[in-house]
Structure 1
Amino acid sequence: MRISELSQRSGVPVPSIKFYLREGLLHRGELTSPNQARYDESHLNRLRLVSALTEVGGLSVAGARDVLQAIDSDEPNLDDLMGVTLKAVQPFTGAPEPTEAELAEADALTERHNWYVHPDSPLRAELARVLSALHSTGLAPDWEWIDDYARAADAVAHRDHDYVGNFTELDEILKTVVVGTVLGERLLATLRRVAQASEAHRRYGI
């Protein structure tokens, strides 16, 4: 198919497709002339994945490129891929490094729930910053409330990995991990807001 058909089938504008090609997020098509290329279903599938990561998931071009390179590596590893994906969606890039006391507080929370977190994981620092932000409001964190969130997150994580277990093809597993991590985070946040609005109406609405 030509780039115009690729655009029509994917819903992605031609200028965006050309941008993804320039940035290496989409592999080149087969040249049929100096100014024309032919694209196939692999381009359509990759384009849909790129769109999901960048336009819905909010990943930067660099973050999406890192994730796609992990997927395309010769010997992809699910643990490594999860690390690359989580780093790509990490929202505190450029924030100050947490203090030792803040890291210790984060460690105490993860240990309480028997979670393994690598000492150098950006998620460890991110959790420490979130807990620190709660302190900065002038209110001591309500640990019962935080532990309820942790238990809910644990249940979601178990369900995520159970879902990945439904697939047998490595390519589908890798894509499911990436898309599920990026868009699942958005889904969870949106469902929480919907549930909050519904609960507010139930409790206080007329």
Structure 2
Amino acid sequence: MRISELTRRSGVPNATIKFYLREGLLPPGRATSATQAEYSEAHLRRLRLIRALIGIRGLSVNATREVLNAVSEHEAEVHQVLGLVLGVRPVDKDEDKDVDKDEEPDHEPGRSDVDALVERMGWQLSEHAPARSVIAETLETLRSLGADFGWRTLIPYAELAQQTAALDLDQLKNTDDSLEQAERAVLLTILLEPALLALRRMAQEHESAVRHGG
């Protein structure tokens, strides 16, 4: 396809596509003349992933380039691709070598609660998982407000989350294309999150109507 069709199908302006080409985020197309090139479906998928990483994940152009390069290196390794796209697995494996001991995750308030929950669930998680800090901060906030809400209270929710995760990963098993896996990972884990929260709100309203009268 020509760049005009790539623009139409992706919804990304021509100027933005050319910027991604200059920055090395999007590989060059097959040259058909001195000023024109043909682009493939792979370009379209990569372009969609770029927009998702920059527009949804909020990554910089440089960080997006690093993620895309790493995704290409880990072709067909679903666990690696998922970790890179979600920010769980660092692109640079040596980036945490010089971390100050006082800034290590073990010193984070509420960390012991999170570790206990992870151990109880038997989960295999990266130390870099951003969700660890979210849960730790939430439990600490609840504790500061005097709420009797510890990590054990989260176990039934964690079990439901495990079932949801199984559904998510089932959607990634039908392709060995690393870019398509990465695109699906963004769609299923980030774009779908607002809908999952909305479903919970709807279910709460229904349950309240059943229990207390509509």
Q: Taking structure 1 as the reference length, what is the TM-score of the superposition?
A: 0.73
Corresponding residue for 1:107? 115
Q: Which has the higher contact order (CA 8 A, sep 6+)?
A: 2
Percentage identity across aligned positions? 38
Identify the match of residue 163 of structure 1 among 163, 168, 171.
171
1:199 aligned onto 2:204: yes
Q: Runs of 5+ in structure 1 lacking a partner?
A: 91-95
Give secondary structure in 1 for the equivalent of 2:37.
strand
Corresponding residue for 2:161? 153
Listed as ranges, the matches of 1:1-206 within 5 Å are: 1-55=1-55, 57-60=56-59, 61-73=61-73, 77-87=77-87, 99=107, 102-119=110-127, 121-143=129-151, 145-165=153-173, 167=174, 169-171=175-177, 174-175=178-179, 177-185=181-189, 186-197=191-202, 199-200=204-205, 203=208
Residues matched between the structures, number: 196
Indicate how the Cα distance of structure 1 residues 121 and 142 shifts in structure 2: closer, same or farther if over 3 A, else same: closer
Find the aligned partners of 1:41 and 1:176 in 2 and give their Cα distance.
11
Q: Is the 8 A contact 2:113 2:150 kept in 1?
A: no
Q: Taking structure 2 as the reference length, what is the TM-score of the superposition?
A: 0.71
Residue 125 of structure 1 deviates from its aligned partner by 4.1
Letter in 1 for 2:4: S
Find the aligned partners of 1:75 and 1:49 in 2 and give their Cα distance.
15
Residue 109 of structure 1 deviates from its aligned partner by 0.7
Structure 1 stretches of at least 4 aligned residues deviating more than 6 Å after TM superposition: none
What RMSD, in angstroms, separates the aligned Cα atoms of the two structures?
3.3
Residue 71 of structure 1 deviates from its aligned partner by 2.4
